[in-house]
């Protein structure tokens, strides 16, 4: 049990800080760009906490489908972490903290079982069995549809009865046979449910420490802090996902498993304080860069693509000429001209090279 008398003041201070940042971000008009930059940098920092170094430029280009080299294993994992944060942010707040949300953030579901959608202009292959289902020419095609509905109702009944219809045939060479992830998921969700009446910061701290104690998803080390940020959002404390991985990297708190409840809560509060400090600094940079670049865009033509280039700078850690040309649907020469048009308001050049050049707000 937490010593509420001694930690109430600390929880109130952290709550006020989060609410102030949330209101400041909403009033700035840069919430979408800040969240996009935060998701990309958080994916890189999450892999860094696990001991893997991923270049943020490679992740930006991989996300845009413009890889300059074959994606590495670390880059693929960073892309999965980025996809998890975007999935958690795209849905309504309580959904990520549920059994369906956990499955979706892990990348399970939504792929298997879906029918393949063919393009309209392509004729199906006569030898393709999926293109011509076996019941396409049956006398009673509704019989097959009713059979599918009966199978769906049967699976739903099993789920409601507490059974798990999903197959669990996993290789023992990759997964620990003694580690029951389904049971640990239920235990963690039970922790979340039992702390539903607690203050949001305390509930997120307990949920994060329970995640570490249960050792949930050892192959997805970034998901614990993402779920803690999602829990803060689910409790209505903020409308965004805070950069907790950056805050954890910056803080001095490293859980060893020997800490008491108060020490764990103090450590999580340190993580949130560092995350808010980093988030405020990044927002300050975005506000200043937008003011400088808007002085130039205010004088451009109404059909100019320069405001679009400014939005790219505000929503990504870095922008290259090929990336800007692809996303803005212009030629690379046009991007060069727009960069020259920005003049002194142009963001800093990050690479220091002559062939491969990238600009970003730092």
Question: Tokens 């800080």 correspond to what residue?
Answer: 17
CB 199 within 8 A of CB 11: yes
Q: Which of 249, 279, 309 is the last residue of a domain?
A: 279
User: 204 and 326: one domain?
Assistant: no
Quote the pLDDT of residue 112: 34
User: 25 and 94: one domain?
Assistant: yes
Quote the pLDDT of residue 103: 85
Alpha helices (H) in 215-344, listed in sequence order: 223-234, 244-250, 261-297, 306-315, 321-328, 332-342
User: 188 and 226: one domain?
Assistant: yes
**Can you give the length of the chain in residues?**
362
On whether residue 219 sits in a domain, the answer given is: yes
User: 66 and 200: one domain?
Assistant: yes
User: 100 and 188: one domain?
Assistant: yes
pLDDT digits (tens, 9 = 90+) for 173-196: 555 555 567 788 888 888 888 888
On whether residue 133 sits in a domain, the answer given is: no
Can you tell me the distance from the alpha carbon of 247 to that of 9, in angstroms, rounded to the nearest whole number? 21
Q: Is the pLDDT of residue 59 over 50?
A: yes
User: 205 and 95: one domain?
Assistant: yes
Q: Is the pLDDT of residue 118 over 70?
A: no
- 184 has which bridge partners? none
On whether residue 193 sits in a domain, the answer given is: yes
Q: What's the CATH code of the domain at 355?
A: 1.10.10
On whether residue 170 sits in a domain, the answer given is: no
On whether residue 211 sits in a domain, the answer given is: yes
On whether residue 158 sits in a domain, the answer given is: no
CB 324 within 8 A of CB 305: no
User: 23 and 68: one domain?
Assistant: yes
User: 270 and 308: one domain?
Assistant: no
Count how many domains the chain has.
2
On whether residue 117 sits in a domain, the answer given is: no
Can you tell me the distance from the alpha carbon of 118 to that of 95, in angstroms, rounded to the nearest whole number? 31
pLDDT digits (tens, 9 = 90+) for 302-330: 888 999 999 999 999 999 999 999 999 99
Mean pLDDT, rounded, for 346-362: 85
Residue 77 belongs to what domain range?
4-107+178-279
User: 267 and 321: one domain?
Assistant: no
User: 339 and 274: one domain?
Assistant: no
Q: Which of 247, 279, 311 is the last residue of a domain?
A: 279
Say which range, 44-48, 98-102, 155-159, 282-286, has the weakest mean pLDDT.
155-159
On whether residue 86 sits in a domain, the answer given is: yes
Q: Return the structure tokens found at 113.
A: 């079982």
User: 304 and 274: one domain?
Assistant: no
Question: Tokens 């789920």 correspond to what residue?
Answer: 159
CB 46 within 8 A of CB 326: no
Mean pLDDT, rounded, for 346-359: 84
Quote the pLDDT of residue 75: 93
User: 212 and 91: one domain?
Assistant: yes
Predicted TM-score (pTM) above 0.85: no
């Amino acid at each position: 049990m937490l010593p509420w008398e001694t930690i109430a003041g600390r929880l109130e201070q952290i709550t006020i800080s989060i609410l102030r940042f949330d209101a400041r971000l909403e009033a700035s008009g840069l919430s979408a760009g800040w969240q996009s930059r935060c998701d990309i940098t958080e994916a890189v920092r999450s892999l860094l906490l696990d001991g893997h170094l991923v270049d943020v430029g490679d992740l930006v280009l991989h996300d845009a489908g413009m890889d300059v080299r074959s994606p590495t294993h670390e880059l693929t994992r960073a892309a999965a972490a980025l996809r998890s944060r975007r999935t958690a942010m795209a849905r309504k707040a309580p959904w990520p903290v549920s059994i369906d949300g956990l499955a979706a953030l892990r990348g399970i579901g939504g792929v298997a079982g879906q029918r393949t959608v063919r393009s309209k202009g392509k004729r199906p292959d006569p030898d393709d069995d999926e293109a011509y289902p076996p019941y396409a020419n049956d006398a009673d095609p509704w019989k097959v549809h009713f059979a599918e509905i009966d199978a769906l109702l049967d699976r739903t009944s099993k789920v409601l009865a507490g059974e798990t219809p999903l197959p669990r045939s996993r290789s023992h060479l990759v997964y620990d046979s003694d580690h029951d992830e389904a049971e640990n998921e239920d235990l963690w969700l039970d922790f979340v449910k039992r702390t539903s009446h607690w203050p949001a910061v305390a509930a997120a701290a307990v949920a994060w420490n329970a995640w570490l104690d249960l050792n949930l998803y050892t192959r997805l080390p970034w998901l614990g802090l993402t779920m803690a940020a999602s829990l803060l959002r689910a409790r209505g404390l903020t409308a965004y996902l805070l950069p907790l991985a950056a805050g954890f990297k910056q803080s001095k708190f490293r859980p060893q498993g020997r800490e008491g409840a108060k020490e764990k809560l103090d450590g999580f509060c340190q993580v949130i304080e560092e995350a808010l400090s980093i988030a405020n600094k990044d927002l300050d940079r975005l506000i200043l860069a937008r003011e400088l670049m808007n002085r130039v865009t205010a004088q451009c033509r109404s059909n100019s693509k320069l405001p679009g280039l400014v939005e790219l700078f505000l929503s990504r850690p870095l922008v290259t000429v090929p990336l800007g040309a692809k996303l803005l649907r212009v030629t690379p020469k046009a991007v060069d001209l727009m960069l020259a048009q920005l003049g002194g308001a142009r963001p800093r050049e990050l690479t220091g090279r002559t062939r491969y050049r990238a600009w970003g707000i730092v």
